[in-house]
Each structure stands twice: as C-alpha cells, then as structure tokens.
Amino acid sequence: MLVCLWVTLLPSIAFSNQTNNELLQNQLYNMSKLSVPERSQDSYYNKISKLLSNPQLDTHSLALANILMADYYSLQDNFKLTKEYLTIAKPLVQEVKSERLQHEYDYVEIFTLRGDGQIPQAIEKADALYTAVSESWPKHKLSNLVLERAYILSFQYKYKESLELLEVALAHAFDSDDPYQLTETYNVFGILYSELNDNASAIMYFEKAVEVMEENPQLTDNSYLYSNLADSYRLEGNFDRAKELLDKSLASASQEQDISAIAFAHQMRSRILTDQGEYEKALNHLDQAIKMSEQIGEELFNYELHSEYAYLHLKLGNLDQAKYHLAIAEDHSAKQGDTDLYYFERLNAEILAKEERYQEAFEKLGQSYKNYRKHFNDNMTHVSNISREQLDQERLSFENKLLEKENALNQEYLSNNRKFSYILWSLIGVLAIGIFAAIWMIFRFKRLANDNHKLAFTDNLTKLPNRRHVFRTLDEHHRNSSGGTGTYSIILFDLDHFKSINDRFGHSVGDQVIQTTKDICRAILREKDTIGRIGGEEFMIILPETTLNDAYNIAERLREHFEAFDFDHLAQGLKVTSSFGVTEYLDEDESLDFVINRADRLLYKAKNEGRNRVAATFAGDLN
C-alpha cells in the first residue's frame, strides 16, 4: 500500500522540483540583466554566495550562479577570482547545452580575455555575441557589450571601427537612460581621442564623464575617470591640475578598496614624475602599480608598465635593466597583436644609440617610423574627419549653452507662430485684416528663417564664420583648384597659453581676447580672404590664389601684429601671442583632408618648437 502511494507521488515531486528549478533560473537570468552598479553591490554578492552554498542546486542554476559571481569579480577588476569561477562554470555550461546560458558565459569571458591580453580572441567572441543577443538583451547591457567591443578594437588601432561602435553604445545608453553607461561611454571616447593625441577632445569627454558621475551619486564610484583626466592634463603640461585629480582618484580608490584603480593612479603619478625628470620617484610608483596589478591577476597592461620601466631605466643609464623590461613588454605585446610595436622599436633604437651602435639604432628607428605610419598615418585622414565632426557636435551640445537656449527659444517661437499663422489663414476669406496679418507673418517668418540660417553658420562670440561655414568655403576652393586650375593656401592658428589667460584674468577677458583676434586679423587680411573660428581659441584663414611664400608672409605679419598689439585696455599686463601652421594646396593632394592634416601638423610643430612662431612647409618635407 505504502509502495503504491510513493510511486504515485514520484511524478508530482519531480514536477515540483522542475518548476522550482525553472523559477530559480529565471530569477538568476533577471539578476544578470541588472545594471552594472546594481551588479557591483554587496547585496548582489551576498545573494549569489547564498545560492552557491546550497548543495541541492540544479546544474543549470549552479552554472549560472558561478557565471554571475565571475561577473561580479570582473566588475571589481579581480581577474584571478573571475577566472576561478568561470573555470567552475565551464564544464557545467557544456553539460547543460543551453544557448542562453552560453551567452552569459561568453559575456564574462570577453572581459577575462581582454584582461589576459588575448585581444583577437576577445574581439571575435564579442562580435559573435552581439550578433546573437542584439534583439533580446536589455539596452544597458547591450551598451556595455558594444562599449567593450569598441575598447578592445582600439588595441589593434582600429579607431574608425571603435568610434563607430561608440556611437552605437552611446545610443543604447541614452535609450536605457542609464547614467553609468553614459559615463563609461564618454570615458572610452576620451581614451580613444587621447590615443589619437587629440587632448582637447579627450579632456572634454573625460570632463563630461566626471560630470555625469558626480551628478549621479548612486553610481559606483569610478576613480579611473579622475586618473584618465589627470593623464590628459599631464599631456597638456598642466601638472598641478593632474596631481590634484590623481590625489582625488587615489583617495576615492582607497576608500572603495579598488586595487586596480589604485595601481592605475600610481602608474599615472609615475608618468607625471617622468615628465618632470624625477625618474627614481617615478620608478617607486611604477613598482607599486605592477605589484598591485599582479595581485589581482590583470595582464592587459603589463606591456605598458614594463615599457615604462624600460624608459625609466634608460633615462637612469641602466641599460641592462632597460633591455630586460623591454623584452618583457614586447613579449606581452605580441600576445595582443604587436601593440605599440613602433614605440618598442624606438626604445630599442635609443638603447642601441646609448651603446654607440649607431647603424643598428638608425635602422631600428626607420622601422619604428614605418610601423607608426602603418598604424596611424594611413588612417589618420578618416579618423581626423570623425574627430572634427564629433568634436563640433559635442561642443554644440555641451559647451555652447547660450546658443542652445537661444535655439530652444527660437523653436518655441516658431511653433507658436505656425499655430497663429494657421488661425490667420483660416480667417483670410472672412476678415480683410487677416490678409494683412498673414502677409506680416510671412515676412516675419522669412526674417526669422534668415536669422536662424545666419546663426547656424556664424560663431556666436566673434560673429565670424563658424567651423561648418569655413569648411564649406574651403571645400569650394579645393574643388575649384583641383586639376591644376588654381591654387590656395590656408593658415591654421591658435592663441598661445589661452587657458592661462582665462585662469589669470577670467573668462570674460578671454572672450574679449577672442573677439579682438577678429579685429587684428581684419587689419592684415584682404577682402577676398576668409577667416573663421573653428574651435575654442583656434582659427582658420583661407587665402585664395595665394602661394605658400605669400601665405607665410601674411602669417608672419599676423604673428608680429599679435605680439605688438596693446591688450592693456582689456587687462593690465596682458600679452597675447599666436602660433601658425601654413600650407599650400598641391596638385598631388588626393583630397582636402591632406591639406588640412598638413596644416594641423605644422601648427603642432610651431607650438612644439616654443610657440609664437610660423611653421610652413610642403608635405614632402614632413616625412
């Protein structure tokens, strides 16, 4: 009798267990959809730990719980524990054979592959995963996945693809209304522009990331942002600001006990000390950075740390140590697809030169130059265009608040006018006064449209042509000059140490200096020349039918005029100088971007050689 009863109950017990298992699995999958800050909390960790302590857990749930724990530790940058939990999960995933479970495993494994420096494998897995889950995963998680794809592609110098992916990640972040994802996307934008040596854009994106983070205190504190921003200010030579940000980063990371972030802050501090020639102190900070990286099992940036070791030992005259660390750096780099190969070759050349092996050093330096061209210059034209377009959009969105408000008011006014116009037109046939009102509205609308058109192509501060207008004009001159039918020259210049002017005398005086720049240039330029403001303190001058020699003379006159101009009426003791890059259109220029990039590099050369000077040469002289 009892045996019969037990046999009868067995199916119902099995059904009950199956139902409970499915409920638990759904709960775990829902946890995997939480935002990054939610998945980083102690309460999340405690819940997963409690589940893992249950010996009755079914295989599917056990595999998923281990994956979620690995995900938690990846968010803490603890790659040793991340890999331990993935190692436990892997045979369970293979046993369950669930596509959905495999996707969660792959998602976490991408971060460990990147942490181990296995960049090609990480890219392949990330691309395949995004294709599989793009229609089913929540937007914030898709944003994080796309962001990771963009980041790891940058290690192979695929900046064009990275920037395109960042736009997708940003769209997903906005769709999900997730401030953490916005912060991280702006941060990676900053990292990419820093890699492209566009420090102005990098600083702008890092500042935006910090702004979003500080406006949302519920986010997980990300002290990396302060360190990244500090490094950009270091590259600008603003060491005081860089140190201030690093102090903030280190305090925040120490409070959060974020070992990876503390290591990164020490590495950035080492770079500042290196730039200031304090090599022994720099080595001490670098020692701390690499010890902490080894503690958490992060290998991705070992090539970077050891290459910086090599550089410091080279500066200290320790050639054996320099070669030792450079060999380690090259070994780690090779695993990631020859990351920074050109830089290692340049370090090798410097070591060989120190050993008086000058012929070998010369050959190694030549190889370094070829690899640099391969990774950067061949694609710089396209990336430069993307950089300019995005920088223009970001400045319109985030910096030009006054113009944004004016446009909003115009839009509201236009909307009201349309409604009013509709009513008037409806009464035209009834009241004669409606006819006059309608005519008045037409002229009013036309004038407003003209004003808006001018606003779209005019710089708000100087009333000069803005970036969009200048580049349209330049494109017309370029097309008219193509095929040897004419020539033109361009001058790129900006005001030297403009940030220090703002810091010393205030932004109001800085704005007046920019406005005065228009008057200084108008006194020298011809009527047919075009001058426009294309950035904060950066201007472009288009000189039609002008050779390089004449353009150089114009630039030199402008430089002298700036140097001699009396700015005391704006602020006592104010002196302003400018740096100029001058180039001429050449028949061999395949596109307008070749001319613009040449002028960019000449301006950089003028600034790098001490500012308050004019740099002008043909493209062939740059190589």
For the cut 90, the answer to whether the pLDDT of residue 584 exceeds it is: yes
566 found inside a domain: yes
pLDDT tier at 620, thresholds 50, 70, 90:
very low
For the cut 90, the answer to whether the pLDDT of residue 12 exceeds it is: no
Average pLDDT over residues 484-494: 88
Q: Which helix (H) or strand (E) holds 341?
A: helix 341-354
Three-class secondary structure of residue 298 per DSSP: coil
Instruction: Provide the token pair at 453.
Output: 């058109």
Would strands 578-584 and 488-495 be described as parallel, antiparallel, or unpaired?
antiparallel
For the cut 60, the answer to whether the pLDDT of residue 186 exceeds it is: yes
Q: Does residue 530 come out as left (phi exceeding 0), alpha (psi in the -120 to 50 range) or beta?
A: beta
pLDDT at 542: 94
137 found inside a domain: no
| Residues 607, 476 share a domain | yes
Q: Cβ(301)–Cβ(339) under 8 Å? A: no
With pLDDT > 70 as the criterion, what percentage of the chain qualifies? 78
Q: How many structural domains is the chain composed of?
A: 3
Which of 63, 80, 76 shows the shortest CA–CA distance to 28? 63
Instruction: Provide the token pair at 202.
Output: 């990098």
Q: How does the average pLDDT of the chain come out, rounded?
A: 80
| Residues 601, 509 share a domain | yes
For the cut 70, the answer to whether the pLDDT of residue 480 exceeds it is: yes
pLDDT tier at 555, thresholds 50, 70, 90:
very high
Task: Report the Cα 523 to chain-centroid distance in Å.
Answer: 39
For the cut 50, the answer to whether the pLDDT of residue 539 exceeds it is: yes
For the cut 70, the answer to whether the pLDDT of residue 97 exceeds it is: yes
| Residues 451, 491 share a domain | no
Among the candidates 103, 131, 148, a domain finishes at 103
565 found inside a domain: yes
Would strands 530-533 and 488-495 be described as parallel, antiparallel, or unpaired?
unpaired
For the cut 60, the answer to whether the pLDDT of residue 129 exceeds it is: yes
388 found inside a domain: no
pLDDT tier at 13, thresholds 50, 70, 90:
very low
| Residues 415, 544 share a domain | no
Q: Cβ(219)–Cβ(183) under 8 Å? A: yes
| Residues 428, 516 share a domain | no
Would strands 538-544 and 488-495 be described as parallel, antiparallel, or unpaired?
antiparallel
319 found inside a domain: no
Average pLDDT over residues 482-502: 88
pLDDT tier at 377, thresholds 50, 70, 90:
low
| Residues 477, 408 share a domain | no
pLDDT at 372: 66
| Residues 12, 32 share a domain | yes
Average pLDDT over residues 537-546: 93
| In the block, residue with structure tokens 């974020």 | 258
With pLDDT > 90 as the criterion, what percentage of the chain qualifies? 22
Q: Which of the residue ranges 46-55, 289-298, 599-608 would you say has the lowest mean pLDDT?
A: 289-298
- Residue 458: beta bridge partners? 465
| In the block, residue with structure tokens 């009513």 | 423
Instruction: Provide the token pair at 320.
Output: 């054996």
Instruction: Provide the token pair at 348.
Output: 């090798």
| Residues 498, 437 share a domain | no
Which of 193, 197, 93 shows the shortest CA–CA distance to 208? 193
Q: Cβ(148)–Cβ(140) under 8 Å? A: no
pLDDT at 5: 37
Distances (CA, A) of 381 to 159, 189, 369, 377, 592: 12, 18, 18, 8, 10
591 found inside a domain: yes
Instruction: Provide the token pair at 432.
Output: 């004669």
For the cut 60, the answer to whether the pLDDT of residue 30 exceeds it is: yes
Q: What is the Cα–Cα distance from 604 to 536, expressed in whole angstroms?
A: 16
Among the candidates 45, 68, 103, a domain finishes at 103
Q: What is the Cα–Cα distance from 21 to 160, expressed in whole angstroms?
A: 46
For the cut 90, the answer to whether the pLDDT of residue 37 exceeds it is: no
Compare 195 and 592 and report the one with higher pLDDT: 592
The 10 Å Cβ neighbour count of residue 226 is 29
For the cut 60, the answer to whether the pLDDT of residue 378 exceeds it is: no
Task: Report the Cα 1 to chain-centroid distance in Å.
Answer: 75
User: For residue 458, what is the DSSP state?
Assistant: B
pLDDT at 540: 95
For the cut 70, the answer to whether the pLDDT of residue 504 exceeds it is: yes
For the cut 80, the answer to whether the pLDDT of residue 516 exceeds it is: yes
Complete edge-to-edge strand list for the sheet that includes strand 614-616: 530-533, 538-544, 488-495, 578-584, 614-616
- Which structural domain, as residue segments, surrounds residue 410? 401-456
Which of 128, 169, 132 shows the shortest CA–CA distance to 151? 169
| Residues 490, 428 share a domain | no
Quick: pLDDT tens for 400-428.
444 555 566 567 666 766 666 666 666 66
Instruction: Provide the token pair at 290.
Output: 């690499």
| Residues 508, 435 share a domain | no
Residues 6 or more apart whose CB falls under 8 angstroms from that of 413 comprise 448
pLDDT tier at 226, thresholds 50, 70, 90:
confident
| Residues 617, 474 share a domain | yes
Quick: pLDDT tens for 57-67.
899 999 899 99
Q: What is the Cα–Cα distance from 542 to 287, expressed in whole angstroms?
A: 51
Q: What is the Cα–Cα distance from 529 to 545, expressed in whole angstroms?
A: 10
For the cut 50, the answer to whether the pLDDT of residue 174 exceeds it is: yes
- Backbone φ, ψ for residue 116 (5° rounding): -85, -5
Q: Which helix (H) or strand (E) holds 580?
A: strand 578-584
Q: Inter-axis angle of helices 179-195 and 224-235, to 10 degrees?
A: 30
| In the block, residue with structure tokens 């953490």 | 180
What number of residues does the chain have?
623
Q: Cβ(69)–Cβ(48) under 8 Å? A: yes
If you compute the radius of gyration of the chain from its CA atoms, what whole number of angstroms results?
A: 30
474 found inside a domain: yes
pLDDT at 493: 95
Q: Cβ(504)–Cβ(495) under 8 Å? A: no
User: For residue 338, what is the DSSP state?
Assistant: S
Tell me the CATH number at 591. 3.30.70.270
Among the candidates 50, 78, 103, a domain finishes at 103
Compare 302 and 271 and report the one with higher pLDDT: 271
Which of 32, 126, 47, 112 shows the shortest CA–CA distance to 74? 112
| Residues 544, 411 share a domain | no
pLDDT at 183: 86
For the cut 70, the answer to whether the pLDDT of residue 623 exceeds it is: no
338 found inside a domain: no
Q: What is the Cα–Cα distance from 561 to 191, expressed in whole angstroms?
A: 38
Amino acid at 87: T
